[in-house]
Amino acid sequence: MKSLLKTAVWAAASVFASTAASAGEKIQIWHIFGNATEPTLVNFTRWNETHPDNQIDQKFIPFAQLSQQLIKGIATGDVPDLVTIDNPVVASFASQGALEELTDLVKGSKIIEKSKYYTGSWNTTIWSERQYAVPGEANTLALYYNADMFRAKGLDPDKPPRTWAELKELSAKLTDPAKGVYGVGFSAIQSEEGTFQWLPFLQQSGGNLASLTSPDSVAAMTLWADFVKSGQASKDVLVKRQFEMMSAFLGGSSAMVVGGPWELQRMDKDAKFEWRVATLPVREGKNIEASALGGYVWGIPKGAKQRALAFKLVEFMSEPEQMKRAWSGGRLPPVPSISVENPANPKAYEVFKTQMIVAKARGPHPAWPLISSAIQTAIQSSLTGQSTPAAALERAQAVIKPLLDKNPIEGL
């Protein structure tokens, strides 16, 4: 992809026009929001209402296709002025020259300031000490659980699992093969979603990417593998996305499931039982609170024709009035000082706000897709029983260590 992007960037640069905006110029945006009620789309409408001379020309592209579409667009010089990017791949795009550098624009902004943002969200936009994107929205993970199932098994729904030991104990009690109920669910699918869900457990264990063969790191993989091996988690975790695992929870085939705030609207609409959300349990003896940081950022592709106008829109989207709408779409503002007044699902809101404090970014690293792929392979190998967790992580370490030696990731 590197050579392809280099060629594309040169081609795009050769036709790069003035970034000065004039009346009638439109801002072309590629984004991942397919639901008309998405807060970002509401904010687009608000922009169009207040900026009649520079309307937004938007294009929805499914999340799983956007990165490839952007690569193709750069190769052909057909790029939008602004694009939403999954935060762990910013460094990869930036290191290949696919994004406009925004360092000076951000320094001159009176709206976008580093000190306002969650450190993890901000760090995802930086590569090699230069800025290539601006955080748009954030999300993280917590533990959903079925309070009715807790009561049916004589468990107190006011006491969700706080440690791995309690998680294992409650999962065993809630597992009911006769009723087709698994105690716990998570997505171990061979994609970025699997990596996203496992990394909090790695961090809770006391392990990290630089020491995947340590007893702590192996303990994190063993925890997941044992859930599947014991029948407390379905083998479907190996092939189902987060959305599908939440569907299983909604359908009553899982008593607990790891999920994000983007599921809250669906829970409100479809759940036929009392449900609650708790922070992810910690490993006893370590007591490390951890979760994963997700979310998208705003990036301006190399060769964008309306760079200045696109950045003006990013500033608009970064104003508190726009950012605080994020919760209505199941996401959080990447700025902790922005509070959502009278939020829907207020208890869940507080849980996810708490998780955001300890949520860690994936990277930034220019080879994050390779690192993530090695983790995914280790998860699949361990949970299918093809390898022991120790052996699977040893192979992952062999792939990841040279990448980290070249570009270390702080705190992961």
What average pLDDT score do residues 129-157 get? 97
- Mean pLDDT score of the chain: 93
Beta bridge partners of 83: 30, 299
What average pLDDT score do residues 361-370 get? 94
Distance CA(229)–CA(401), nearest Å, equals 29
CB atoms within 10 A of CB 178: 5
Please say if the pLDDT value at position 8 is more than 70: no
pLDDT grade for 68, boundaries at 50, 70 and 90: confident
Higher pLDDT, 75 or 186: 186
Residue 5 confidence (pLDDT): 44
Distance CA(288)–CA(67), nearest Å, equals 33
Longest dimension (CA), the chain: 69
Least confident of 21-35, 74-88, 253-267: 21-35
Residues in the chain: 412
Element (H, E) at 403: helix 389-406
Please say if the pLDDT value at position 11 is more than 50: no
Percent of the chain having pLDDT more than 70?
95
pLDDT digits (tens, 9 = 90+) for 304-327: 999 999 999 999 999 999 999 999
Residue 64 confidence (pLDDT): 81
Distance CA(156)–CA(160), nearest Å, equals 8
Please say if the pLDDT value at position 366 is more than 60: yes
Measured at the alpha carbon of residue 78, what is the angle toward residues 80 and 303, in degrees to the nearest 5?
Answer: 65
**pTM attached to this predicted model:** 0.91
Please say if the pLDDT value at position 216 is more than 90: yes
pLDDT grade for 411, boundaries at 50, 70 and 90: confident
pLDDT digits (tens, 9 = 90+) for 199-212: 999 999 999 999 99
Least confident of 18-27, 268-277, 378-387: 18-27
CB atoms within 10 A of CB 2: 12
Percent of the chain having pLDDT more than 90?
87
Distance CA(62)–CA(59), nearest Å, equals 10
pLDDT digits (tens, 9 = 90+) for 218-228: 999 999 999 99
- Residue linked to tokens 């081609």: 11
pLDDT grade for 28, boundaries at 50, 70 and 90: very high
Backbone angles phi, psi at 384, to 5 degrees: -85, -10
Residue 14 confidence (pLDDT): 38
Distance CA(151)–CA(252), nearest Å, equals 14
pLDDT grade for 75, boundaries at 50, 70 and 90: confident
Please say if the pLDDT value at position 389 is more than 50: yes
pLDDT grade for 21, boundaries at 50, 70 and 90: low
